[in-house]
Amino acid sequence: MKKLLSAAVGLVLAFTTAGAIQAKTVQVSALEDFNTANPPQVLHVQMNANTRLDYDVMLFQGYQVAGRIAQANGGFTFTPIAFVNFQEEQVPIKKEFSATYKGGNGIIRQNQPFLLVFPENGPDTFQYYVPSSSDINK
């Protein structure tokens, strides 16, 4: 009976969360001071965690990301436009991935962490083919 009840609860949860919009909250750090009530047009942040935006775009912890700001609903949205990778190359981001600012109004200081909420564009886990030594020696 317990297995039947837990299976029913699992199905109900699966159906209720299937239609919900998934999001991922990411902590970033400001690279310059700014006021959340009146943010600059372009904001520079550093990623504090690895974040996959989609299959093609992965922002690794430590990447510096520039984003376009648009004010909305008393807060703002952050749309990444480019990032600087570990080889210090600036890489443009061609697709739009708008994140919303999550937090209160006020001044965010340089190196202060804050949260951005990106929409879920697919799973964070992808299966990659990694060749083995037997594949290489063929």
Q: Note the pLDDT tens digit of each residue in 57-116.
A: 899 999 999 999 998 777 899 999 999 998 999 999 999 999 999 888 889 999 999 999
> What per-residue confidence (pLDDT) applies to 11?
43
Measured between alpha carbons, how far is residue 42 from residues 27, 45, 70, 105, 127 in Å? 18, 10, 9, 18, 35
- The rounded percent of the chain whose pLDDT value lies above 90 is 50
- On whether the CB atoms of residues 20 and 53 are closer than 8 A, the answer is no
State the average pLDDT over residues 5-34: 64
Name the band, by pLDDT with cuts 50, 70 and 90, for residue 121.
low
- 18-22: long-range contacts, CB 8 A cutoff, minimum separation 24: 21/119, 21/120, 22/119, 22/120
Q: What is the pTM of this model?
A: 0.70
Q: What is the predicted pLDDT for the residue at 37?
A: 87
SS3 at position 6: helix
